[in-house]
Amino acid sequence: MTTTDQPLLSVAGVTKYYGDRMGCADVSFDLWPGEVLAVVGESGSGKTTLLNCISSRLRPTRGSVHYAMRDGQSRSLFEMGEAERRFLMRTDWGFVHQNPADGLRMTVSAGANVGERLMAVGDRHYGRIRGTAIDWLGRVEIAADRIDDQPRAFSGGMRQRLQIARNLVTAPRLVFMDEPTGGLDVSVQARLLDLVRGLVSDLDLSIIVVTHDLAVARLLSHRMMVMKDGHVIETGLTDRVLDDPREPYTQLLVSSILQV
């Protein structure tokens, strides 16, 4: 994490209504370069709605999201054209879904899954694309000889690692993660978390990770936001929120963790 004067992402007053029903209300925060922010809360607390709003996958009812582009200019996401926004999403951003099948193309090979973003930005050299794919498979601990296998033949943990490689191949600066360890066994989770931790520090990534698992938040994030009923009820340093929770709900959440 480096100290800079400009936040990477600035979220102001983001509110989303589905008809009369509120998804999330009046959420504001800044995300700084190299920072990992965990959004925690139980199902229905609005954390996924928030993630979709700030990643421009969903248009909020109110509020704004500004992003510092690579040239340093701060741009309002919802004032960008769709072409530009989609370009941003497949170059400077990543999105890791809970279910790898939502983020992967299950019927094409692992190599093509990793290479797709490169081809999308105009790389037209097969050998080079394949070389980069092999390199990235290695970084997410997938053997090079699996490059031509389809993700259908992969275990859940491998699929999730493949999804991460597919997202990181264009060196994005911001990655959104929605319950990245959701469906995985505990030992597979640990491996994935460790991998993500390493990539964060090697690549100076900023991450917004939505999770209901406080252990994931503890291990990955610098800072935490606790959501309940669509509102952010507590926010702060991850270890501060977990070790000295203030709000009744946060205390309940923390005291509900199973201790091993």
- Residues near another protein, by CB under 8 A: 1, 3, 32, 35, 82-83, 86, 105, 107-109, 111-112, 115-117, 119-121, 124-127, 129-130, 147-148, 190-191, 193-194, 197, 201, 219, 222-223, 236-237, 239-240, 243-244, 246-248, 251-252, 255
Instruction: Tell me the residue ranges of DSSP E strands in the chain.
Output: 9-18, 21-31, 36-40, 62-68, 74-76, 93-96, 174-178, 206-211, 223-228, 231-237
Measuring CA to CA, how many Å separate 151 from each of 141, 158, 166, 183? Answer: 14, 8, 12, 16
CB 62 within 8 A of CB 15: yes
Tell the smallest beta-carbon distance from residue 218 to another protein (Å): 8
Question: Of 22 and 30, which CB lies nearer to another protein in the complex structure?
Answer: 30
Tell the smallest beta-carbon distance from residue 33 to another protein (Å): 10
Tell the smallest beta-carbon distance from residue 189 to another protein (Å): 9
Q: Which helix (H) or strand (E) holds 105?
A: none
Rounded to an integer, what distance in angstroms lies between the CA atom of residue 224 and that of residue 222? Answer: 7
Question: Of 71 and 82, which CB lies nearer to another protein in the complex structure?
Answer: 82
Rg (CA), the chain: 18
Question: Of 6 and 62, which CB lies nearer to another protein in the complex structure?
Answer: 6
Question: Of 120 and 153, which CB lies nearer to another protein in the complex structure?
Answer: 120
Question: Of 43 and 255, which CB lies nearer to another protein in the complex structure?
Answer: 255
Rounded to an integer, what distance in angstroms lies between the CA atom of residue 223 and that of residue 241? Answer: 9
DSSP 178-222: ESTTTTS-HHHHHHHHHHHHHHHHHHT-EEEEEES-HHHHHHH-S
Question: Of 62 and 201, which CB lies nearer to another protein in the complex structure?
Answer: 201
Question: Of 64 and 235, which CB lies nearer to another protein in the complex structure?
Answer: 235
Tell the smallest beta-carbon distance from residue 148 to another protein (Å): 5
Tell the smallest beta-carbon distance from residue 219 to another protein (Å): 7
Q: Which helix (H) or strand (E) holds 100?
A: helix 100-103
Tell the smallest beta-carbon distance from residue 125 to another protein (Å): 5
* Residue among 175, 121, 112 nearest 148 (CA): 112
Tell the smallest beta-carbon distance from residue 20 to another protein (Å): 27
